[in-house]
Structure 1
Amino acid sequence: MISKVAALAFLAGLAVAFPQHYNEDPSPYSFNYGVNDNYHGTDFGHNEASDGKIVKGSYTVQLPDGRQQTVNYVADHFNGYRAEVSYQGEAQYPKVFGPPITFKPKSYL
Structure 2
Amino acid sequence: MYFKVICLAAFVSAVMSQHGHEHAHSSQHISKHDGHAEPVVIKDHHGHEKHVDYYTHPKYEFKYEVSDKHTGDHKTQHEHRDGDVVKGFYSLHEPDGSVRDVHYESDKKTGFHAEVKHSTHHIVPEHHHHH
TM range (shorter): 0.5 to 0.7
Corresponding residue for residue 86 of structure 2: 55
Which whole-Å deviations, capped at 9, do the CAs of 1:42-70 have from their partners, x for residues lacking one?
Answer: 00111001111211100011001100000
Moved over 4 A (4+): none
**Larger deviation, residues 80-89 vs 20-29:** 20-29
Unmatched runs of 5 consecutive residues or more in structure 1: 1-19, 95-109
Tell me whether 1:83 sits opposite 2:117 in the alignment: no
1:91–1:85 CA distance, 2 compared to 1 (3 A): farther
| Amino acid aligned to 1:35 | V
**Which residue, 59, 64, 75 being the options, matches 1:44?**
75
From the two aligned structures, give the one with the greater strand fraction.
2
| Amino acid aligned to 1:33 | Y
Corresponding residue for residue 30 of structure 1: 61
Larger gyration radius, structure 1 or structure 2: 1
The answer as to whether partners of 1:29 and 1:52 remain within 8 angstroms in 2 is: no
Q: Cα RMSD (Å) of the superposition?
A: 2.5
TM-score by length of 2: 0.50
TM-score by length of 1: 0.59
| Amino acid aligned to 1:74 | E
